[in-house]
Structure 1
């Protein structure tokens, strides 16, 4: 990539940011979905996993800076444990 092209991308990013909260998590979420679908038992889970299943639940919990109550965190951890126990 030339310096001029880099400058154009910087200007474009300044006007229309291409970086959102999920951009950094999307590659690993996609990989996780592929791996989960490779090992998915269609009898237990009919629908395939998507990357959205592995993205952090920012929208459910509100803004990134919003504190999460101990009860909400405990419930989320319980859901993860239930998912892990199904394998």
Structure 2
């Protein structure tokens, strides 16, 4: 009985890991493919392209300034506004 429960949990973890692996590639593929396409094919300035690709990160930082990610646990910690 213990073996069947353990096997079920292992299958769930593998399925969840495969889903997150696919999601990682789906999220990163736009930026990875944008660099060679825009720079080599269309001749866009690399500095301007890097600014355009960094814009969503900068916007996300400005929208949620109180959330700091912990390097050890990987969880977000809400920091007060200097009080």
TM-score by length of 2: 0.31
RCO higher in structure (CA 8 A, sep ≥6): 1
TM-score by length of 1: 0.30
Structure whose residues are more often strand by fraction = 2
Query: Which structure's CA Rg is the greater one?
Result: 2
Structure whose residues are more often helix by fraction = 2
